[in-house]
Structures are given as structure tokens and as C-alpha cells.
Structure 1
Amino acid sequence: MSLHDNAVLALKAYDGAGAAQRELRGLYLDHLAAHPDGMWKACGAGHLTASALVVDPERGRVLLTLHKKLGMWLQMGGHCEPGDSTLERAALREAGEESGIPDLALLPDGPVQLDRHPIPAPCHWHLDVQYAALAGPGAVASISEESLDLRWFAYDEVAEVADRSVVGLLERTRAVLEA
């Protein structure tokens, strides 16, 4: 199965909370139907990306990266690559590369949230499929070349440093963890 086909299946199975998430799911599916190259950075109309919020629920904290190009505290994530067989693997690969933590495990049951955000030309949109990844006890993070900084934040500190998408991702992740 291609990554494109996997993304379609993952999105069809996603039952995001609320009308806005269901609307985004439809937009993502329409995008993939219209753009066979919609998984790749080269797609000028936009492309899917995969990310993961790294959480340490035992300590009530999340690991965020200070993105080198954007200068914002974000979850780990990025572009899909030809070697990625699933969106889950792409998110896990990106989280491992950017956090330096080798033994992350995604929360089960697929994406936690979808987030569509504009990016500069020549492309126009990132259609981010957002997961949550659990850090094992004693996980040690190390900064990658893609980051200016890497830092653990207590749950209640995230709203002070991150944008609405990251705050929403944390809220949805906590709801899943507490369910």
C-alpha cells in the first residue's frame, strides 16, 4: 500500500472531536483525491505533514522544539519521505529525529488532531496530521540540527509559549490519556 493510500485510510478512520475537525478531515481527503502527489513537499497546492507531541504523562510535561525557521515552540514533525510506509511511521520518525529519543511510542487509535496552516510560496499549505508520542521513563532528549532549542514544559506552561494548535493538541492528548 502506498503512503497516499495509507493516509486516505487513516483519515477516513479519524473521528476528530467537533465539526471543525470533521471539516478538516474532508478537506484533507478532497486534497488527496485531487492531488496524487499531495503527500509530498513538491505539491504546490499543499501537502500532508506528520507530527507528534512528545509527552511524559508521569511528570505532566511535553517536549517542544524551538523551530529554526519559524522561531516558534512546536511539536516535533515535518515532511513525509519516500521511505515512510505510513503516516504513523512518518510522525514517529520525525519525533525521534527531532527529539533524540529513540524509544517513543505513539498513542494508539491514530491521529489526535488535524491542523491546516499556511506556509510561504512556492507551496501554500501544510495539512498536518498530528499524533502524540509517549516518552519512556528517564527519556533523555537531545537537540537536532532542525531546532534552535529543545525543552520540556509542564502542561500548564504550554499556553504561555506555544500557539493555539500546540495548545489544542496538548488538550486533545490529555483527554485521550485520561479516557
Structure 2
Amino acid sequence: MNLYDDAVLVLKGYENQGDQGDQAALREVYLDHLAAHPDGMWKPCQAGHLTGSALVIDPARGRVLLTLHKKLGMWLQMGGHCESGDTTLEGVALREAREESGIETGLTLLPGGPVRLDRHPIPSPCNWHLDVQYAALAPAGAEAAISDESLDLRWFAYDEVAGVADASVVRLLEATRARL
């Protein structure tokens, strides 16, 4: 199976996660995008492309790891573009979480597939990121290390996130905590 086929299966399965309202509608937007754009997984697709991200969470300590994105200057979850060697959306999210958090071993995705979907505009020549958002559980004693893609990397208590991050990160944290 290739990444495109995996993405379609993951998104079709997302309907069974109990999501309603905007998430169900967004799921259809993602599936329609892929049906109309066979290259819709990749950064060069000017109509937009799927991305994978993961909120790194340490439930035992009640905290999340956020990165201060170098280009956007915003505190965000780890995430990024699909690459040619990727075969699953889960793999994209976990690879990005490892690369951007510096936590190379012991990081695992929260079972149950994606936690949320988030579609957001990006600058031209592309128009949209269609982000498939997961949650990654940090191992006990995880040591984070800043990557070249970040200005900073920091653990935040759950109740601090709304004060530093935008609403999409807050919604991702809420949905993750509801699944724990």
C-alpha cells in the first residue's frame, strides 16, 4: 500500500471515531481533495496538501511539548510534510514528532488513529495544509532537543497551553485529553 491509499483508508476510518459536526465535514473535504488531486499528499500540489502532526504529551506530568515554529513564530505541535519514503500517515506524524522533539526512542502514538483534523491556509504558491493530527506519548524521563526547524522547544502544563498557542492547538489538546 502507498501513502495515498493509506491516507484514504485512514480518513474513511476517521468517520467511525465518533466525530461529528465540523470534523465530519472536514473529513469529506480531505477525501474530496484527494479524489480531485492524485498529488494531494505532496507539497508541490498548489491546491493544498496533507500534512501529519503529533502533539507530544506527557500525561503522567500533565504537560505537552510545543515547538516555537521558525517560520511562523507560533507555538505548535510537531508536524510537517509527507516525504517520499513515507508509507503511512501515522509514520509521517511519528517521524515529524521524533525529528522536531529530539525524542528518538520511546515515542509512541496514542492508539485509535488521528485525534483531529485541521485545515489552515498557508502562503502561496500552495493554498492549504490539510493536517491529520495525532497525539504521541512521551516516554518517562524523555529528553527533548531543539531541531533546526524551531526557535524554541518547551514543555507546557495543560493549563498553560491556551496562553501560548492558538485555538487549533488547544482543540487538539482537549481532544487528546478526552481520549486518554
Q: TM-score band (shorter)? A: over 0.9
Shift of 1:62: 0.1
Is 2:26 aligned against 1:24? yes
2:150 to 133, 147, 150: 147
Aligned counterpart, 2:169: 166
Q: Aligned residue pairs: how many?
A: 177
Deviations 1:26-64 (A, max 9, x none): 000000000000000000000000000000000000000
Deviations 1:118-143 (A, max 9, x none): 00000000000000000000000000
Distance 1:81 1:24 in 2: 23
* TM-score normalised over the length of structure 1: 0.98
Distance 2:62 2:69 in 1: 22
Q: How does 1:11-160 map to 2 (within 5 A)?
A: 11-15=11-15, 17-102=19-104, 103-160=106-163
Structure 1 segments (4+ residues) deviating >4 Å: none
Distance 1:139 1:145 in 2: 19
The root-mean-square deviation of aligned C-alpha atoms, in Å, is 0.6
Distance 2:113 2:86 in 1: 16
Amino acid at match of 2:164: V
Distance 2:168 2:114 in 1: 14
Distance 1:36 1:22 in 2: 22
Distance 2:162 2:150 in 1: 20
Q: Percent identity?
A: 76
Q: Give 5+ residue unaligned stretches, structure 2.
A: none
Amino acid at match of 2:8: V
Deviations 1:137-158 (A, max 9, x none): 0000000000000000000000
Amino acid at match of 1:125: W
Is 2:10 aligned against 1:10? yes
* TM-score normalised over the length of structure 2: 0.97
Shift of 1:18: 2.3
Amino acid at match of 1:60: G
